[in-house]
Amino acid sequence: MVWLKRALKSAQFKMLMLALSAGTLLTLALQTFELNLLEAYLYDFRMRNKGARNHAEHLVLISIDDKTVEKLNEFSPLSLKQHVTLLNQIGKAKPKAVAYFVDFNDSVLADVGSDDRVSKKNAEEFVKVADALHASDIPVILGTEIDMTGEIVPPFPLSKLPHRVAILHVDGTTFSEDEVTRRALFSIYDETVLHVRLAALVNGKTAAKEYRGVYQMPDIDANYFLINYAGPTQHTKRNFSEVSALDVIEGKISTDFFRNKIVLIGSKTKDRSNDYVYTPFSRTTFTNPKLTIHANIIETLIDDAAILQTSKAFDTLLSILLTTLVIVMLFRTTPIRGVVFTVACALIVLLLALAAFRYYGVWIRLSHPLMGIFFSYYVFVPYRLITEYKKRWEFQKKNEVLMQVEELKSNFMSLITHDLKTPVARIQGMAEMLARSGVEPKLVTGILSSTDELNNFITSILELAKIESNRINLDKRSKDINKIIEDCVRKFEFQAQSKKIAIRSELDPLFPIKIDVPLITKVISNLIDNAIKYSPEGAQIMIESGESLENPGYVEITITDTGHGIAPKDLENLFSKFYRPKNDVTLQTKGTGLGLYLSRYFVELHNGSLSAESVEGRGSMFTILLPTEDSSEKLAPPSSLEGEKAYV
Ligand code: ADP
């Protein structure tokens, strides 16, 4: 529970809530726009890329095509006389059913020219043949159109035959305004259409609820479903078994072709644009024959494969989820990653939607989620950039101020140290004169040691200031290190004796190496000084030098004492600026915490190293390694400056 409370109060949670609200608002705002054109495009894209469905071989198509019309010297959809011959031929083959997607009013017109009696005779003949087929259990059904008044019944006497509505829906206002056929009528005024009637011959299903994806159109008393096209609908890429009416009339098609099949008859000629529609596969005229679309509709029903649409609530949720996700990402990562994420997110959603369509026949509306993704990108990336720039600008300002402070500090340091040094030197000189003139020696030594201490402090500060302003230039000369060590030992003899400390040295003969003598002298002096300062009375100091055995090419100098030693936690920070361990010995001993920092810096300027080992209470050992060869003319900045810490 505590973690829940903490999580609810966390900055991340607040940010998430903010993004969620922004995502929701954006989604709701976008939903006031229909975006049907985009949705239609995305729908068609999926339809075209879903892959072809396997064909159930239930349907055969007879097209009244250009060849038929030309050869018979007729107009599409042929005169009734020709239809009588056609139906007779089909009937012989014992099909499962015969369905006409033909406007017989046109056929009657085609009979004009011959006189009325002939026309009537042909029509009656047609009805007779159809009735005979009915009697042998082969339904012959005429597809009809509808207009404002309802079904347009075929002309008498054809109206005596079974007929059913068989229209193609084109998207005009319900979805998109591009006149593409994507959905089909299932029933109107409670009457199922011809397609359902034919599908029922195979699967026995006639009720809307028995099929997937059938939905009601709220405004009209009609049910619809989305056609799951078997494949491309262009007549050049035929999916269905199809023959020309002429070949059937001329008896060129074997009866096996029609046996037990549902035969669909329709017109497909180049002089009737009405024979064609637009589909997701093509939007050029004279390309997608209505007959093929009817076959696709019937087959969608036979396979019960209508496309399912997700609910409005699902679409809204998906859109909110994705926009929120993109907003969160845009807030959390760099603008560049934000772009990559946005594009990747859109692509993944597209691919998932494509997969859902392809494998499950589910249509997830993509226009709002995709627009949500891109809008959040356009709204939030500039915001993000502005905050980023603001941060950078503030950082720059701060940096400028820091640089000014740094300059002030270094000016102040050199000013103070120079102005302090001169009077201290004067006091020192005068105290020496006093000592020589026989004044109480204790007093004078007091003055002298205090001025020494002050002097050391000022020198250290001066050196630090020099380091920090990069003003140190090495003045290298060949020098025997042992000579320097001996000089230093001599310098500290008196100080050591006063604490009864013995300094021993074991110095192997060495070739001179190139070093900055004053700097290295300072390092060795400082280490001997520390060894004396941080060791009790009677301790021992050992100074050794020689070629390093572990590091060939280096001279190794070790200064070992049997003093108080250093605790492991202090050992880590020993070489940091101003660091002084918090223990009694250190507190009672005067110092700045700069000696070791400067020593390591000076040694590293020579491309060498300074390290310390210690056992608390037993003593410490400091090791200096200096290269024998002057390997580099240009020195890399000492590592001790990188990521340094200061203890002030
Ligand atoms: P300072 O001696 O002015 O305090 P240094 O940088 O020379 O500054 O030394 C830092 C600290 O390291 C000292 O305060 C001391 O506590 C510890 N230290 C240095 N050398 C020794 C040593 N030989 N034995 C024990 N402690 C030491």
> Which one of 525, 534, 571, 613 would you pick to mutate in the ligand 1 pocket, going by the greatest count of ligand atoms within 8 A of its CB?
534
- In terms of DSSP H, where are the helices of 32-169? 36-48, 66-72, 80-92, 104-111, 116-135
376 CB near ligand 1 (under 6 Å): no
The identity of residue 183, as a single letter, is R
pLDDT at 639: 54
580 CB near ligand 1 (under 6 Å): yes
593 CB near ligand 1 (under 6 Å): yes
Q: 290 to each of 166, 225, 234, how far by Cα in Å?
A: 11, 17, 10
Q: Separation of 586 CA from ligand 1 center, angstroms?
A: 7
Q: 323 to each of 117, 309, 362, 631, 641, how far by Cα in Å?
A: 71, 21, 22, 61, 47
Q: Separation of 534 CA from ligand 1 center, angstroms?
A: 7
Which long-range CB contacts under 8 A does 206-213 form with residues at least 24 apart?
Answer: 211/186, 211/301, 211/304, 211/306, 212/304, 212/305, 212/306, 212/308, 213/306, 213/307, 213/308, 213/309, 213/361
User: Which atom of ligand 1 is nearest the CA belonging to 580?
Assistant: 14
Asked if 534 contacts 564 with a C-beta cutoff of 8 angstroms, the reply is yes
pLDDT at 12: 81
581 CB near ligand 1 (under 6 Å): yes
Largest Cα separation within the chain, whole Å, is: 162
Count CA atoms closer than 13 A to 350's CA, side-chain side: 16
Q: Separation of 312 CA from ligand 1 center, angstroms?
A: 76
Nearest CA to ligand 1 atom 7: 595
Identify the CA nearest to 155 among candidates 147, 139, 166, 144: 144
Residue 634 has pLDDT above 80, yes or no: no
456 CB near ligand 1 (under 6 Å): no
Top pLDDT among 473 and 101 is at 101
Please work out, in degrees rounded to the nearest 5, the angle formed at the alpha carbon of residue 172 by the alpha carbons of 168 and 176. 115
241 CB near ligand 1 (under 6 Å): no
Q: Separation of 563 CA from ligand 1 center, angstroms?
A: 11
Torsion from C-alpha of 120, 121, 124, 125, nearest 10 degrees: -150
3-state secondary structure of 204: coil
Which long-range CB contacts under 8 A does 149-153 form with residues at least 24 apart?
Answer: 150/189, 152/105
User: Which atom of ligand 1 is nearest the CA belonging to 591?
Assistant: 3
Count of residues making up the chain: 648
pLDDT at 346: 92
pLDDT at 631: 63
Residue 309 has pLDDT above 80, yes or no: yes
18: confidence class by pLDDT, cuts 50, 70, 90: confident
pLDDT at 203: 93
**Rounded Cα–Cα distance for residues 367 and 36 (Å):** 8
**Rounded Cα–Cα distance for residues 94 and 156 (Å):** 26
Please work out, in degrees rounded to the nearest 5, the angle formed at the alpha carbon of residue 595 by the alpha carbons of 593 and 601. 115
Asked if 381 contacts 326 with a C-beta cutoff of 8 angstroms, the reply is no
The structure tokens listed for 641 are 């400056």
Nearest CA to ligand 1 atom 20: 530
> Which one of 583, 586, 594, 596 would you pick to mutate in the ligand 1 pocket, going by the greatest count of ligand atoms within 8 A of its CB?
596
Q: Separation of 546 CA from ligand 1 center, angstroms?
A: 25
pLDDT at 344: 92
Q: Separation of 258 CA from ligand 1 center, angstroms?
A: 107
Digit-coded pLDDT (tens) for 150-174: 888 888 888 899 999 999 999 987 7
3-state secondary structure of 374: helix
Digit-coded pLDDT (tens) for 429-473: 887 888 778 777 777 777 777 777 777 778 887 788 777 777 778
User: Which atom of ligand 1 is nearest the CA belonging to 583?
Assistant: 16
**Rounded Cα–Cα distance for residues 561 and 196 (Å):** 105
Asked if 75 contacts 64 with a C-beta cutoff of 8 angstroms, the reply is no
**Rounded Cα–Cα distance for residues 32 and 296 (Å):** 34
Residue 277 β-bridge partners:
288
563 CB near ligand 1 (under 6 Å): yes
User: Which atom of ligand 1 is nearest the CA belonging to 585?
Assistant: 16
116-125: burial string, b at 16+ Cβ within 10 Å, e else: eeebebbbeb
> Which one of 530, 559, 580, 624 would you pick to mutate in the ligand 1 pocket, going by the greatest count of ligand atoms within 8 A of its CB?
530
Identify the CA nearest to 501 among candidates 512, 492, 491, 513: 492
Q: Separation of 646 CA from ligand 1 center, angstroms?
A: 15
**Rounded Cα–Cα distance for residues 53 and 354 (Å):** 15
Give the predicted TM-score (pTM) of the model: 0.61
595 CB near ligand 1 (under 6 Å): yes
Asked if 521 contacts 606 with a C-beta cutoff of 8 angstroms, the reply is no
529 CB near ligand 1 (under 6 Å): no
Residue 224 has pLDDT above 60, yes or no: yes
648: confidence class by pLDDT, cuts 50, 70, 90: very low
Residue 31 has pLDDT above 70, yes or no: yes
Count CA atoms closer than 13 A to 585's CA, side-chain side: 16
Q: Which residues contact 161 (CB under 8 A, 6 or more apart)?
A: 127, 130, 131, 140, 141, 142, 154
**Rounded Cα–Cα distance for residues 69 and 78 (Å):** 7
Mean pLDDT of 498-520: 94
Nearest CA to ligand 1 atom 8: 593
State in Å, rounded, how far the first CA of the chain is from the last one: 43
Q: Separation of 486 CA from ligand 1 center, angstroms?
A: 22
Indicate the DSSP class of residue 53.
Answer: P
Asked if 481 contacts 521 with a C-beta cutoff of 8 angstroms, the reply is no
User: Which atom of ligand 1 is nearest the CA belonging to 561?
Assistant: 23
558 CB near ligand 1 (under 6 Å): no
Nearest CA to ligand 1 atom 11: 580
Nearest CA to ligand 1 atom 21: 530
Q: Could you identify the residue written with the tokens 């502005």?
A: 386
Residue 540 β-bridge partners:
502
Residue 632 has pLDDT above 90, yes or no: no
Nearest CA to ligand 1 atom 14: 580
Count CA atoms closer than 13 A to 93's CA, side-chain side: 24
Q: Strands of 609-615's sheet, edge to edge? A: 502-507, 540-547, 554-561, 619-627, 609-615
Residue 226 has pLDDT above 60, yes or no: yes
Residue 643 has pLDDT above 50, yes or no: no
**For helices 335-360 and 367-436, angle between their N-to-C axes, nearest 10 degrees:** 150
Residue 300 has pLDDT above 90, yes or no: yes
619 CB near ligand 1 (under 6 Å): no
